[in-house]
Amino acid sequence: MSDRETAHGGLDRTRLGLTGGPVAEPRRPRAGGPNIVMIVLDDLGFAQLGSYGSDISTPAIDELATQGLRYSNFHVTALCSPTRACLLTGRNHHAVGMGFLAHNPILLPGYTARIPTSAGTLPRLLRDAGYNTFAAGKWHLIPRYEDGPTGPFDQWPLAKGFERFYGFLDAGTSQWTPDLVRDNGFIEQPLAPEDGYHLTEDLASQAIRFVQDQQHAAPDKPFFLYFAPGAVHSPHHAPSSWIEPYRNQFDVGWDAWRRRTFKRQQECGVVPSDTVLTERPPWVAEWDGLPEGERLLYSRMMETFAGFLTHTDAQIERLMNFLERINVLDDTIVLLLSDNGASADGGPNGFFNRPELDDVEYMASRADDLGGFRAYNIYDWGWAWAGNTPFRLWKHYTWLGGVRTPLIVRWPSGIAAADNGSVRTQFCHAVDLMPTVLDAAGIDVPDVLDGVRQQPIDGKSLLGTFGDGDAPSPRNTQYFEMMGSRAIYHDGWKATTDHVDSPYRAERERVHGSPEFERDKWSLFCLESDFSEAHDLAEAHPDRLRQMIEVWWSEAERNQVLPLMNHEDRLAAMEPPPGPPRHRYVYLPGGSPVVTPSPFLAGFRVVVDIDVPDDHDAGGGIICAQGDWNGGWACYFLDRQLIVTFNFGDGPRRVVTREAIPPGRRELGIEYSVDAGGGGSARITDNGAQVGAGSVSSELTVLARMGLGVGKLRIGYDQGFPVCDDYRPPFEFTGRLHRVVFEVPQAPASADSAMHVVNALRND
Helix/strand/coil (H/E/C) assignment for every residue in 515-539? CCHHHCCEEEEECCCCCCCCCCCCC
Degrees to nearest 5, angle at CA 654 with 649 and 659: 165
pLDDT at 1 (0 to 100)? 40
CATH superfamily of 35-485: Alkaline Phosphatase, subunit A (3.40.720.10)
pLDDT averaged over every residue in the chain = 91
| Topology annotation, domain 584-743 | Jelly Rolls (2.60.120)
Average pLDDT of the residues in 678-688? 89
As a whole number of angstroms, the distance between CA 400 and CA 389 comes to 10
pLDDT tens per residue, range 510-534: 999 999 999 999 999 999 999 999 9
pLDDT at 134: 98
**Per-residue pLDDT at 601:** 63
> Do the domains 35-485 and 584-743 sit in the same CATH topology, yes or no?
no
Mean pLDDT confidence for 580-596: 83
pLDDT grade for 69, boundaries at 50, 70 and 90: very high
CA distance 344 to 292: 22
pLDDT in tens, 123-160: 999 999 999 999 999 999 999 989 988 899 999 999 99
Cβ neighbours of residue 731 closer than 8 Å, sequence gap 6 or more: 620, 621, 622, 636, 717, 718, 722
Each domain of the chain, given as residue ranges in start order, spans 35-485, 486-572, 584-743
Please name every residue paired with 689 in a beta bridge, in sequence order, or none if there are none: 686
Is the per-residue pLDDT at 738 higher than 60? yes
Whether the per-residue pLDDT at 710 is higher than 70: the answer is: no
Of the listed ranges 163-167, 258-262, 578-582, the one predicted with least confidence: 578-582
pLDDT for position 65: 98
CA-wise closest residue to 183 among 234, 253, 118, 134: 134
Nearest to 448 by CA among 95, 118, 26: 118
Asked if the model's pLDDT at residue 431 lies above 50, the reply is yes
Torsion angles phi and psi, residue 665, rounded to 5: -75, 125
Which residues on adjacent β-strands are paired with residue 35?
Answer: 332
Summarised one tens digit per residue, pLDDT across range 73-125 is 999 999 999 999 999 999 999 999 999 999 999 999 999 999 999 999 999 99
Q: What is the number of residues in the chain?
A: 764
CATH class of the domain at 486-572: alpha beta
**CA dist., res. 701 & res. 704, Å (int):** 5
Distance of CA 275 to the CA centre of its chain: 32
- Give the residue-averaged pLDDT of 675-702: 81
User: CB of 75 within 8 A of CB of 427?
Assistant: yes
